[in-house]
């Protein structure tokens, strides 16, 4: 039995043309990264989109990366128990070298990210970028906005000071006022009828494990759809 030559794996023209030297080249050649990068480099940003108002989404993503990096660092010293949470935050701010710096970056980036995500949403709305065929990307964007607010809400409790306690009390009370399922939501969020160690544990879990996992999935979807559908046309 013979195998026709066209059924064998074919070298793409670029594979034949470009053989990168060195250690980086060794990896690039094997994974065809040249083709991938060429694809990225060949995409043209439309003239009307070379404008600062089209940067808000990208800035929000950069802030997300900063928050992820500083958040991982803060988690080194933060302790999510009622007895030690406040002390550990004070310890970060007053005693750990550059702790005030890392925590401040995290705090300010968090506020800025909520703002930038919102402004990005306004840009998409007023340029009509949510219209067909990009409705699905608008919907993932709504989810991303809600997740961002969820990060803010859960992160606010973690210092475990008076402001954190009462903000969470009010926020979870609002969830509790939903008809029919309100009490279920309240107990699910608080881990009981009252705000307690269980609440702090749940909010910490949401803040550092659950929400990051979900936001990464939706970010990938969001970006993939931008690549797939391209930037919306001009007004």
Partner 1 sequence: MTRASFLKWLIGSVAAIFVAGIMYPVLRFLKPPAAISGAIGQVVNIGPLSGFAAGQLTAVAVNGQPAAVQSLDGKYAVYSLICTHLGCVVEIAGDAFRCPCHGSDFSPTGAVTRGPATLPLPTYHSQTHSGSLLVGPIDLSRAAYPGWYKGEFS
Note the residues at the interface with partner 1 (CB under 8 A). Answer: 73, 76, 79, 84, 87-88, 90-91, 94-99, 101-102
Between 88 and 137, CB nearer to partner 1: 88
Distance in angstroms (rounded) separating the CA atoms of residues 65 and 105: 12
Question: Who's near 154: CB < 8 A, 6+ residues apart?
Answer: 203, 204, 206, 207, 211
- Assess contact for 160 and 89: CB atoms under 8 A: yes
- Minimum Å gap between C-beta 40 and partner 1 is 21
- Minimum Å gap between C-beta 69 and partner 1 is 8
Between 31 and 90, CB nearer to partner 1: 90
- Rounded alpha-carbon distances, angstroms, from residue 159 to 83, 165, 188, 189: 11, 9, 21, 17
- Minimum Å gap between C-beta 64 and partner 1 is 17
Distance in angstroms (rounded) separating the CA atoms of residues 149 and 161: 20
- Minimum Å gap between C-beta 62 and partner 1 is 13
Between 87 and 177, CB nearer to partner 1: 87
Which one, of 179, 177, 175, lies nearest residue 188 by Cα? 175
Between 104 and 188, CB nearer to partner 1: 104
Q: 35-43 long-range contacts, Cβ below 8 Å, gap at least 24?
A: 38/14, 43/227
Between 104 and 229, CB nearer to partner 1: 104
């Amino acid at each position: 039995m013979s195998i026709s030559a066209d059924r064998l794996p074919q070298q793409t023209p670029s594979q034949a043309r470009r053989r990168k030297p060195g250690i980086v080249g060794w990896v690039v050649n094997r994974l065809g990264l040249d083709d991938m990068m060429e694809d990225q480099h060949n995409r043209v940003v439309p003239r009307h989109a070379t404008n600062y108002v089209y940067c808000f989404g990208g800035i929000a993503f950069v802030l997300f990366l900063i928050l992820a990096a500083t958040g991982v660092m803060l988690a080194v010293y933060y302790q999510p128990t009622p007895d030690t949470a406040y002390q550990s935050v004070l310890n970060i701010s007053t005693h750990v070298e550059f702790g005030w710096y890392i925590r401040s970056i995290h705090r300010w980036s968090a506020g800025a990210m909520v703002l930038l995500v919102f402004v990005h949403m306004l840009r998409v709305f007023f340029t009509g970028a949510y219209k067909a065929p990009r409705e699905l990307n608008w919907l993932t964007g709504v989810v991303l906005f809600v997740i961002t607010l969820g990060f803010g809400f859960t992160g606010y409790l973690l210092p475990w000071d008076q402001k954190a306690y009462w903000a969470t009390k009010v926020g979870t009370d609002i969830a509790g006022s939903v008809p029919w399922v309100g009490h279920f939501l309240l107990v699910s969020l608080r881990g009981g009828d009252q705000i307690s160690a269980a609440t702090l544990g749940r909010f910490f879990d949401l803040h550092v494990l659950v929400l990051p996992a979900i936001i990464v999935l939706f970010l990938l979807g969001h970006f993939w759809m931008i690549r797939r559908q391209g930037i919306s046309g001009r007004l």
